[in-house]
Chain A
Amino acid sequence: MAEEVVSKDTLKSLVEGKLPWEEVKKLLRMPHKEDTRFWTYLEILQEKVPWKEKILLPLTDHLFIVRKEDGARVVKCSCGQEFGDYRVNWKFSCDVYVRKTTEEFTEVYTIDPCPIDPDLVEIREYYCPTCSTQLAVENVPPGYPPLFDMLPDLDTFYREWLGRPLEDESPDWFQDKTGELLSEWSAEG
């Protein structure tokens, strides 16, 4: 049968969590997801954000990798706050609040008794400095390096998978530069 294509409206209401389950099931049953899906998705997201920079890739509900005028690829919050180069774990540009005690745990795990053991884990909440949206939660042992949830290989993605190469390709775009930032920090003390 001809390739099924999900309409922009359908995809939009799915993004907004409003698509009826019976419709969602139809999407789930598609033997192949249509090639145009990603572009439709970007359109929808671009229309939702108040700013103009071109979205290259959405990372979370609120964070997007965008291209700046000057060609930089930075992480940007739906509110407009920017988190710098996407190759640096954006969590290091957030406000951070860490829950360390059972009392603090019970504010987010509202069961009694709260079984989570402060000796084993802490709960890290990463907020956007501007809109205070909660961008990530980490339940990890104290001292655990913040997880770099996702470092995309954008050039490969656009060239090889989407067939629309980015104009400013460079092997340099696919590396974790978080270390560099942190060594600066420690250098500056």
Chain B
Amino acid sequence: MADEKKFLVALDAGGTMTDTFLVDEVGGFSLGKALTDKQDESQSYMESVSDAAKYAKLSAHQIHERAVGVTYAGTTMLNILLTSTGAKVGLLATKGFQYTPHLERGLTWLGLSYEDTMHMALLQHTPWLVDINNVRPVAERIKGPTWYPGCHIPPGTAVVPLREADVRKGVEELLDAGVEVIAIVFIHSYENPVHEQRAAEIAKEIVKERGLDIPVVASYEICPIAFETQRMKSVLVECYAGRKTANQLFKVEAAAKADGYKHELQTLLSYGATANIRYPRIYEAIVSGPTGGLLGSKELMGKLKGVDNLVCTDLGGTTFDMGLITKGMLPINMEPSFCGHKLSLPMLAIDSIGAGTGTVIHVDEQLKLIHLGPESAGSDVGTCYRYPDITIGDIDLILGYLNPDYFLGGAVKLNKQAALEALEERLARPLGQELYDVSGKVLDLLHTGMKNHLTSTLLSKGLNSADYTLIAYGGSGPLHMWGLVEDMDLAGVVTCPWAAAFSAYGVAAADYFHRYQKSILCVLPAGQPGEVWLYMAQGLNAAWQELKERAYQELEGEGYPREKVSFKYGIYARYLGQMVSWEAPVEKSTVETPEDVQNLVNAFEKAYTTIYPVAARMPEMGYAITAVYCEAIVERIKPAIARYPLKGAKPLENAYKGQRDVYHRGWMKFDIWEMDRLEAGNRIDGPAIIEHPMTTLVIPPENYVEFDEHKLISYRRK
């Protein structure tokens, strides 16, 4: 009975929309949407939940009372960085490195399109996270590690003692300047944090003496990882946006509780875990793009269908995002770039290009060239709605793929006539082409761009598309899926009825765990006996122990006793001389015998060769382990996916909505179906279009789709 049902609530707040995925314990779900309120996310949170509740024939209050968990992936962090509205940060840096955050390695092109990157005059430094006047130098130096073990001063040696006077002076001055938070980042502190620790003590004393409430954040605590620029940026993002973000999350939690929710709010971390919003390193809640989508794909396809090689694609109004799940492993990028900042934190690797229904079409009349993007109409769709320029959305409309009266379930009326005129005048005529034919070919361009992106991402990892199943989601995923996968060699193609809010579903499906990492340099020279390697690897034990201890403490803080915590371990390693390290999961967190070390090396080689051709191996150069990590996991309730009784291939009469003329490389009639009325077991043959209030699935003549027992939709060739 409905009123007994318990619910899981998950939200994915993007720059424009906040999506809700609401699911009961038997897998009955409904979706909600609301415009994101960037000033006060608790507002859009409530609206979106109410919207979903409506479809479930309940009130937000009833949902909250029966919710066993609410997870909210917010957008505050992104918004603060985009609008430069973060905290006033003070930074204590190793003397000589005060300008590191401003020089930022010259990485001025992060996040720019290929065209923009090539156009030198456009390159400009990212807005500062810390004012150049709020940095104070501290004389000190820890010696870093080297590739030549035993040839030079041991790593971690303090070659210049900490000048405490510099610390005192710096902190006093920064407090006088009125900073709201103090960051401490010293060179090679990941190797030996003793100077940062002492500096933090001093800073905290002074803050206390002054009776202030000003956090002091040292890099060794939140990001003990090599590379000073990235480490500094990571600490600065935490300081700049951390507190504000936490406050927004607490606001959302308060709103939920005020409406009857009895538990604590959880949020999504960049590496795809959920965590209680009391998590100490909230800057890890930076969520780049639709992280939820990968988690959803893993849960759905992995757990349900046992498919563990996935190409996860998300097509929205503005970007085409894709992530690869190989052998069930979520792809982690240790050096992601975010809003023009390169960071050292684990983030799900999602590659984006500017492509979507909002993508603007440029026509170069002189040279008869067509350029797509980089601008996008986003939710303004195109000339058919609220945008001045012609877009892909306009084309989707005039070719008949989109239904002008059923966009967002009819909430938005699209003006087909306006699109026709604009495309004729700005696309067809300048190129001297027939309107519908050239429009169709512009879609081919979009799809080719997406394919290039997809294949280069696969190939750049030495992977073969034939081993991968593609899953398409996002508002426009099903609409362009046909073009994306056309003549691609894939193991399968799948989408689902809740594609439009798939990321929110993924948020609900995420595991609860924390990931901890530490840089370390353990060099294993080629051709040395196992005993030498064992000696070289001794540092690993302590590092792992340290990480585990921190995990236990933090999880206790979030209400999980030690016995509830289980661990996964891994290393980052490379062949000596290489400039990049690769992640490799390992069995245990101790090295006691030469075999243990050999196992680490084997684990690395295994990971390396799953990603790269065996030809790329270079064992003759020896190995280096550059970091260790562990994941501390606790149990969490997952959304159930309903299993429906399989009906016949033939859909119910009332699912049929008639026919529409569609220009699909020539005019033809497409059958139109209503997504929500189709049942498990149904088969729909192309040419057909399946409409849903939030998305549209296009099936060309030579294809058909089948709904399985979970209403997952498999797209196949006839």
Contact = CB atoms under 8 A, between A and B. Distances in A.
Q: Which among A1, A21, A25 has the greatest number of chain B C-beta atoms within 10 A? A: A1
B453 interface: no
B368 interface: no
Interface string B297-330: 0000000000000000000000000000000000
A31 B122 contact: no
A28 interface: yes
B362 interface: yes
A98 to B, nearest CB: 34
A111 interface: no
A1 B122 contact: no
B119 A31 contact: no
A1 B363 CA distance: 6
A3 B121 CA distance: 21
A48 interface: no
A1 B362 CA distance: 5
Contacts, number: 23
Majority SS at the chain B contact face: mixed
Interface in B331-362: 360-362
Nearest to A21: B124
A2 B421 CA distance: 13
Contacts of B361: 1
B426 A1 contact: yes
B364 interface: yes
Nearest to B115: A29
Contact of A28 (B119, B363, B374): B119
Contact of B364 (A21, A25, A29, A32): A32
B426 A29 contact: no
Contact of B122 (A3, A25, A32): A25
Contacts of B116: 29
Given A1-B389, A1-B390, A2-B426, A28 B362 contact: no
Contacts of A2: 426
Interface string A117-152: 000000000000000000000000000000000000
Interface in A3-46: 3, 21, 25, 28-29, 31-32
Interface residues of A, number: 9
A28 B122 contact: yes
B460 interface: no
B371 A31 contact: yes
Contacts of B362: 1, 31
Interface string B115-150: 010010110100000000000000000000000000
B528 interface: no
Contacts of A21: 124
Interface string B58-84: 000000000000000000000000000
A66 to B, nearest CB: 30
B654 interface: no
A177 B124 CA distance: 42
Contacts of B122: 25, 28-29
B361 to A, nearest CB: 7
A146 to B, nearest CB: 29
A1 B121 contact: no
A171 to B, nearest CB: 30
A7 to B, nearest CB: 15
A31 B124 CA distance: 20
B366 interface: yes
A156 to B, nearest CB: 20
Interface string B364-401: 11100001001000000000000001100000000000
Q: Which among A21, A28, A29 has the greatest number of chain B C-beta atoms within 10 A? A: A29
Contacts of A3: 365
Q: Which 8 A-B pairs have the closest CB atoms?
A: A1-B389, A28-B122, A1-B426, A28-B121, A31-B364, A1-B362, A31-B362, A25-B122
Interface of B: 116, 119, 121-122, 124, 360-366, 371, 374, 389-390, 426
16 contacts: A1-B360, A1-B361, A1-B363, A1-B389, A1-B390, A1-B426, A2-B426, A3-B365, A25-B122, A28-B119, A28-B121, A28-B122, A29-B116, A29-B119, A29-B374, A31-B371
Given A25-B122, A32-B364, 16 more contacts: A1-B360, A1-B362, A1-B363, A1-B389, A1-B390, A1-B426, A2-B426, A21-B124, A28-B119, A28-B121, A29-B116, A29-B122, A29-B374, A31-B362, A31-B364, A31-B371
